[in-house]
Structure 1
Amino acid sequence: MVDCGFDAKRGWFPSVVYGGQFIDVLVITNLDEDHVEDLPYVWDRVTLGSIYSNPSVTAAALATMKREHGMDEGVRQAHAILSRFRPGHLGKMADSGEVSAWGYSNRYGLDFTDTNNLSVAALVRWGMFTILFAGDLETAGWRTLLHNPAFVADLATVTVFVASHHGRANGRCEEVFEIVRPQIVVFSDDRKQYESQETDAWYRQRVSGIPVLDAVPSGMLPKKRHVYTTRRDGTLTIQVDGTGRYIVTPTRADPPSALRLLGLLSRPAA
C-alpha cells in the first residue's frame, strides 16, 4: 500500500476496503495529512507487516515541521508511530517474491525542512515493469535526488510515472524527463480548482503513450493515451504480466471500449 488517504465523496477508505487483511508494507511517501488521513484506522483495522517512511524524518522533525499549522488526526498518528518506534523501515521485511520495492528521499535538515521535498520517491518493480510514486516532490527536491547516481539509474527504468504533488505545476522537473521516458503519467487528484493543475499538456509531451484497444479500422493506427487522471478516469487498475505487458482499466470509461489499454515495454529491465 502506498499512502493511506481516503475519498469521503466516493466513500472509499483503505481501512474499510482492507479491514481485517494483511498488508506486507505500507509506504508513506509524504507526511502531510492528505497522504495519511486514514492512518489511525488503518493502524487499528489492518495488519501491517511493515511501514516505510523517510529515514531522516523523526518524530521531533515532524513536530517541528508541523509547529505552525498543527497536526490533524492522520499526522498525529504518524507522529505517534515515529515516537514509539523510529523512522525508515519498521517491522519485518516483506517477502513479495519477484516483486521488489524501494525508495529514495532527501535528508531532513541537510537538504530540506519541508514535507513535500522530503517525500519518498517509491519504486515498485516486477520483471520489466516499474512504477514510480513520487509523493509531493517539488522541482528542488527532484534536482537534489538527481545527485544520487543510483536514483538516476533506477529512474531510467520507469514505465509508469505517478506525477508528484498530484500533477501540480510545482512538481514538474525538466531534468527528470531528460532521464526518464515513461509510457504513461498518472495524476491522482481531485477536480480542477487551480491553474497549477493545468499540466496535462506538459506531461503529454514527455511520455510515449500506449495504444487504446478499441475497434480500429484496418490500416489505421490506434489512438494513444498519455496521461491518466483520477478526475476523469476514476479508480485505475493496472494489471501486469510477467513479461512487462500491462492493461490499464479505468472505472469511468468512454463507451464502447471501456478504454482498456495495453502497454508494451520498449526497454529492457535494468
Structure 2
Amino acid sequence: MGWGSSACRSPRQRFASSGPGRAALALVLVGVLAAVLLAASCLRPPEGPDGAAQESGGAGGEGSPAPGYEDLLATPAAEELPGRLVVYFLDVGQADASFVRTPGGKVIVIDTGDSPDDVVGFLRAKGVERVDVLVLSHPHADHIGGALRILEEFEVGVLYDSGFVHPTWVYEETLAKALELRDAGRLTYVAARAGQVLEVDPSVSVTVLHPEEPLGDEANDASVVLKMVFGSFSVLFTGDIEEAGERAALARSAELGVDLGATVLKVAHHGSRTSTGPEFLEAVHPEVAVIQAGRDNPYGHPSPVVLRRLSEAGVTVYVTASHGTVIVHSDGEDWEVVTGH
C-alpha cells in the first residue's frame, strides 16, 4: 500500500464532493494564488550553518504551532464503544501525544505534546476525569509539555517515565509535581524498564520493551517503547528512539520472547532519518505507520529517506501534518484508520 492511502480490514470510504461553477472556481483559484504569493514573500525555510535545510531536529517543538484542541475535536469521531480499542495519534504540531481508550473504558495518555492547552483541552472535551496511565517516553519538551497540567488538573493513576534526568524547567516542574503527588499517596510513579507489563485493562496487553539500565547519555535513545496488543491487533509506540535504541529494543524483545511485529507503528522521532532503520522496520513489519510531525517544521521531518523506506516495505503512511489527527480503532481483529483531513 502506498503513501497516504486508506487502510482497513473493514473498509469504509469517506468522500467529500462539491460542484462550483466556472466563475466560482476562478475566484477560488485567484484567492489561493494570492495566499501562496503572500506566504512566499513572508516565509523562508530555516537553514543549517552550511546553508542546507535542516533535517534532524533536537528536543524542542519548533515549527508551525499545534492546531489547538478545537481542531483535534474536528476529527471524525471513532466508534468508542465497549469492546473496541481506540488510539488517537493527535495532531499537536512538531510534537508527540497519543490518547488511548481501552475496550474496558480505561484511559492511557502517551506523551503530551509541547503545549499544555492542546491535550488538556482535548481530554476535557472527551469527558475524561481520570487518566489511568500516563506515559512520558522521555523528558524533551515536545513530549512532556502538557504533563504538568495533566497532573494538576486530572486524577492520574500511574505515571511511567524513562527515568532519564533532563535539566530543563519543564522537566523539573513536572518531576516536582509527580513526586509531590506520589508522596501524598495520590500517584504511583514508576521508572519504566524493559519487561514490565502495565496493568490497565485485562483485555489489552501493554509491555515495556525499552529502556533498561544503564540509560546512557542520550534522552532519545532512552525513550520508553511500548507494545500494546488487543487480540490480533497491535501498536508499537517508540518515542524518539534512534538506531542505537532500536538495536537495544530488538535485542531485549528477543530476550523477553516478545515479537516486535505490530499492526501499527508510531514512527520514532517524527520520522527523522536517524530512526526507523532497515533492521528495525523489518522486525516490526507494520501495515500502517503514523508519523507525528508539524507542518513546515524546520527539521525536514519526515525524512524522505524514511518515507521511501516505509514505501518500499509496503507500509501505508499517515503524517499528522498532512492528515491531521489519525485514529485507529479495532475490535481485536478488524481495524480501521480514520483521519481528520
- TM-score above 0.5: yes
Distance 2:160 2:149 in 1: 17
Distance 2:142 2:256 in 1: 26
Residue of structure 1 aligned with 2:326, choices 207, 219, 236: 236
| Structure 1 SS opposite 2:113 | coil
User: What's the counterpart of residue 140 of structure 1?
Assistant: 244
Matched to 1:14, the amino acid is: V
Range 182-191 or range 194-203, more displaced: 194-203
CA apart distance, 1:195: 4.0
CA 1:151–1:113 in 2, change beyond 3 Å: closer, same or farther?
A: farther
Gaps of 5+ in 1: 210-225, 253-270
Distance 2:178 2:248 in 1: 25
CA 1:251–1:94 in 2, change beyond 3 Å: closer, same or farther?
A: same
Distance 1:14 1:28 in 2: 13
Q: Does 1:107 align with 2:203?
A: no
1:141-220 aligned within 5 A? 141-148=245-252, 149-150=254-255, 153-156=258-261, 158-192=262-296, 193-195=298-300, 197-198=302-303, 199-206=306-313, 208-209=314-315
User: What's the counterpart of residue 215 of structure 1?
Assistant: none
Could you report, residue by residue, the CA deviation over 1:107-131 in whole angstroms, capped at 9, with x for unpaired residues?
Answer: 35x3512210000111211111110
User: What's the counterpart of residue 157 of structure 2?
Assistant: 49
Distance 1:21 1:37 in 2: 19
CA apart distance, 1:239: 1.5
Q: How many residues align?
A: 214
User: What's the counterpart of residue 227 of structure 1?
Assistant: 317
CA apart distance, 1:83: 4.7
CA apart distance, 1:249: 0.7
The question of whether the paired residues in 2 share the 8 Å contact of 1:29 and 1:122 is answered with no
Matched to 1:201, the amino acid is: R
CA apart distance, 1:153: 3.1
CA apart distance, 1:237: 1.3
CA apart distance, 1:100: 1.9
Residue of structure 2 aligned with 1:13, choices 99, 103, 118: 118
Distance 2:310 2:121 in 1: 33
The question of whether the paired residues in 2 share the 8 Å contact of 1:25 and 1:48 is answered with yes
Q: Does 1:247 align with 2:336?
A: yes
User: What's the counterpart of residue 203 of structure 2?
Assistant: 98
CA 1:175–1:81 in 2, change beyond 3 Å: closer, same or farther?
A: farther
User: What's the counterpart of residue 132 of structure 2?
Assistant: 24
The structure with higher relative contact order (CA 8 Å, sep 6+) is: 2
CA 1:95–1:161 in 2, change beyond 3 Å: closer, same or farther?
A: closer
The question of whether the paired residues in 1 share the 8 Å contact of 2:210 and 2:248 is answered with no
CA apart distance, 1:186: 0.6
Relative to the length of structure 2, the TM-score reads 0.57
Distance 1:249 1:112 in 2: 38
Relative to the length of structure 1, the TM-score reads 0.71
Distance 1:118 1:177 in 2: 19
The question of whether the paired residues in 2 share the 8 Å contact of 1:236 and 1:250 is answered with yes
Distance 1:36 1:101 in 2: 20
CA 1:39–1:241 in 2, change beyond 3 Å: closer, same or farther?
A: same
Gaps of 5+ in 2: 1-108, 183-188, 193-197
CA 1:27–1:81 in 2, change beyond 3 Å: closer, same or farther?
A: same
CA 1:152–1:29 in 2, change beyond 3 Å: closer, same or farther?
A: farther
Task: Report percent identity of matched pairs.
Answer: 23
CA 1:152–1:163 in 2, change beyond 3 Å: closer, same or farther?
A: farther
Could you report, residue by residue, the CA deviation over 1:173-222 in whole angstroms, capped at 9, with x for unpaired residues?
Answer: 2211232211011101112433453231122222x34xxxxxxxxxxxxx
User: What's the counterpart of residue 64 of structure 2?
Assistant: none
CA 1:180–1:94 in 2, change beyond 3 Å: closer, same or farther?
A: closer
CA 1:52–1:18 in 2, change beyond 3 Å: closer, same or farther?
A: same
Distance 1:250 1:7 in 2: 22
CA 1:201–1:151 in 2, change beyond 3 Å: closer, same or farther?
A: farther
Cα root mean square deviation, aligned: 2.3
CA 1:238–1:7 in 2, change beyond 3 Å: closer, same or farther?
A: farther
CA 1:235–1:179 in 2, change beyond 3 Å: closer, same or farther?
A: same
Matched to 1:88, the amino acid is: A
CA 1:113–1:87 in 2, change beyond 3 Å: closer, same or farther?
A: farther
